Amino acid sequence: MMESQERLLEQFQAALRAKNRQPATVESYARDAQDFLRYLHQSGLGLQAVEPQTLLWFRDHLLHDGKEAENSVRRKVIGVRQFYRFLAEERLILDSPFDAMPLPERDETLKPAVKDSSLERMLEVLPSDNLKNLRDRAILHLLAYEGIKAHELIQLQWIDHIRSSQLNTLSIPGQKARTIALRKESAAHLDRYAESFQAWLKPLTQEQRLRYRWMFVAFKGKDSSLVLPQLTRHGLKFMLHELGDRFGIKQLHTEGLRHHAIQHQLESGKTAEEVMGHLGLRRLGNVGKHLAKRRMKS
């Protein structure tokens, strides 16, 4: 991305912070604006060359080429509208072409969860012979059984994991900060990854180790030989896409895994309130839909 656009995104984030927007919202809107700028560049369009139809093309691009979920696309559209509102406020454009456009309807239908049998088969077959595979196993357990969201997972640090002889807990950072008790299997896979990670860190200098404070690292290169300090949202999305292709699971993504976590926790005997507390939910929302689905089945 051009340097001028990077500065523009920084100014956009500063303006959002000045309006007391939550850090997660600032990060999300900035990421949406960056995606839209990238789309404009690929389409040969400038900031001022857009019209209402451009946002509709962007939405279709996300749905069909990017295979984004309906509600994810809706959120990105809101982020782009906020960005163009900022441009108009700063008089970088005359006015926003998107303000008069209605937002896409929010999809309230219950999304299918990843099938339990598919997930179990993948976890059974996935090797545990190296750091990357151990990382992937730990991530899958946290997403599919603990219901941690993508932005929460990538912000986890090792200090957030507290171990004792009787209980393993994880302090989830962010706007919906909470401490959750991990199920035995999730804790075991996280411990195996932690042991392998500590062994990998051992040859590094103290200064180098300080860079690796995040729980989940990223891998680059065909042989995954380059290890970067922090996994990104894009890296997580690519990891799940790669695993889905490898094990024949269509559209393996964080939303489907979170729905699996809701199902699993309800089936394990937790109340709706306990599930909401574990997942950091303030409204019944999808938990209520899963409860209604279970009642219909029974």
Where are the chain's structural domains? 3-89, 116-297
The whole-number pLDDT of residue 92 equals: 86
CA distance 156 to 124: 25
The whole-number pLDDT of residue 45 equals: 84
Residues of the chain with pLDDT under 50: 1, 110
The whole-number pLDDT of residue 107 equals: 54
Q: Which long-range CB contacts under 8 A does 208-215 form with residues at least 24 apart?
A: 213/157, 213/158, 213/159, 214/154, 214/155, 214/156, 214/157, 214/158, 215/156, 215/157, 215/158, 215/160, 215/161
CA dihedral sign, ordered 241, 244, 249, 252: negative
The whole-number pLDDT of residue 1 equals: 47
Distances (CA, A) of 60 to 57, 67, 214: 5, 9, 35
CATH of domain 3-89: 1.10.150.130
The whole-number pLDDT of residue 66 equals: 62
248: left (phi over 0), alpha (psi -120 to 50) or beta: left
Q: Which long-range CB contacts under 8 A does 66-71 form with residues at least 24 apart?
A: 67/251, 69/107, 69/111, 69/253, 69/255, 70/104, 70/107, 71/106, 71/107
Architecture of domain 116-297: Orthogonal Bundle (1.10)
Give SS3 for 169.
strand
What's this model's pTM, rounded to 2 decimal places? 0.69
Domains 3-89 and 116-297 share a fold: no
The whole-number pLDDT of residue 42 equals: 87
Please compute, for residue 224, the number of CA atoms within 13 A of its CA located in the half-sphere on the CB side. Answer: 11
